Amino acid sequence: MKRAMRIMLVEDNPDYREVIEMAINKTAGMELTGKYGAAEVALNSLQDRDLRIEPDIVLLDLNLPAMSGLEALPFFRRSIPDAKVIILTQSDKEADVVTAIRQGASGYILKSSTIKQIKQGIRDVMDGDAPLDAGVATHIMKALKAKPIKERPERELSPRELEILTLLGEGFVKKEIGDKLDITYGTVATHVRNIYEKLNVINAPAAISKAYQSGILPMDPEE
């Protein structure tokens, strides 16, 4: 039997922490294995390798006391490299979004999202997607398009792969892309794996970043 996804929550608002805890623990296939009000405490809990339960997912707020989520993100990435970090925050500031993605966040979800959307975002990340709020995706695209163009990768993307990469950049996940293009989820997943391999990246934000920086994806016509 497949074990439940282990989730660590780092959130300083006790009321919101309780809401997320209840939602996760009532969801089949998910288990909250740690909840913390400060990043330092959460990171300290990961130091004892004999006692710790290593999470699959870290839900990380940005506005935390003392060490912020952005400051803590690299430490989580080093302490538990196999875990995925999803930013769950009120901040839709462009600087926060771009910094989090560049530091390796696997997704960026706003607290204005519904519980259903948050849980789906967790599932998407475990399936290899990178859930981004629509407004968040716009920030990323704006920042990336301002970057200078570099050399193109040796392996060219096919027209279908370019189409799928563009949709990833707009915040769509694999199932939504399949529905939009009228192809199966498995076909989308295969294309996404090929995109990652050709661009030598590990997730959608990294693929989108490389595609814009190298000129694979075009700028908007009006720009």
Among all chains, which residue has been given the structure tokens 């004999």? 50
Other Cβ atoms within 10 Å of 123 Cβ, number: 17
pLDDT value at 103 more than 80: yes
Q: Over the stretch 39-72, which tens digit does the pLDDT of each residue have? A: 999 999 888 766 567 899 999 999 999 899 999 9
Lowest-pLDDT range, 4-13, 85-94, 157-166, 208-217? 208-217
Q: What is the pLDDT, as a whole number, of residue 222?
A: 41
pLDDT value at 21 more than 50: yes
The domain made up of 147-214 is a member of CATH 3.40.50.620: no
CATH of domain 5-133: 3.40.50.2300
Q: What is the pLDDT, as a whole number, of residue 19?
A: 95
pLDDT value at 171 more than 60: yes
Q: Over the stretch 128-164, which tens digit does the pLDDT of each residue have? A: 776 676 666 666 656 655 555 555 666 788 999 989 9
Measured distance CA(56)–CA(27) in Å, rounded: 16
Other Cβ atoms within 10 Å of 158 Cβ, number: 12
Question: Which sequence spans correspond to the domains of the chain?
Answer: 5-133, 147-214
